[in-house]
Amino acid sequence: MRNLLALVALTVFAAGTQAQTAHHNGDHPAVVVQRLQAQAGYDYQNKFYPHPAWLYLSAEAPHPMMDHPAVIVARREQERQAMLAASSSDAQRYAHK
């Protein structure tokens, strides 16, 4: 019985000593945190980064794939010139009356 009690006391004392050596007294809290994070491993749920080619919000509607940006700009300029010509012809028509 006495041997069993001594064995339990030795086990509890050894576990307490081991817990104290795991935390180095006098370390800065940031050092302790970094040490714990290094032991924790990689957390896949916490570090989720989307792929750069992911969908994004655009203020403009998507263009057909066959339209080059230069073609789109030229078409807009032609439409603008047509609107200016139509508005100037209307102004001239009403000015002669």
Identify the pLDDT of residue 28: 92
Rounded to 5 degrees, what angle do the CA atoms 21, 26, 27 make?
Answer: 85
Report the distance separating Cα 75 and Cα 69, nearest Å: 10
> Which ranges constitute the DSSP H helices of 1-97?
2-22, 29-40, 69-95
Helix (H, G, I), strand (E, B) or coil at 34: helix
Identify the pLDDT of residue 94: 67
Rounded average pLDDT per 10-residue block, the chain, 97 residues = 64 59 75 88 75 75 78 92 86 64
Helix (H, G, I), strand (E, B) or coil at 1: coil
Identify the pLDDT of residue 70: 87
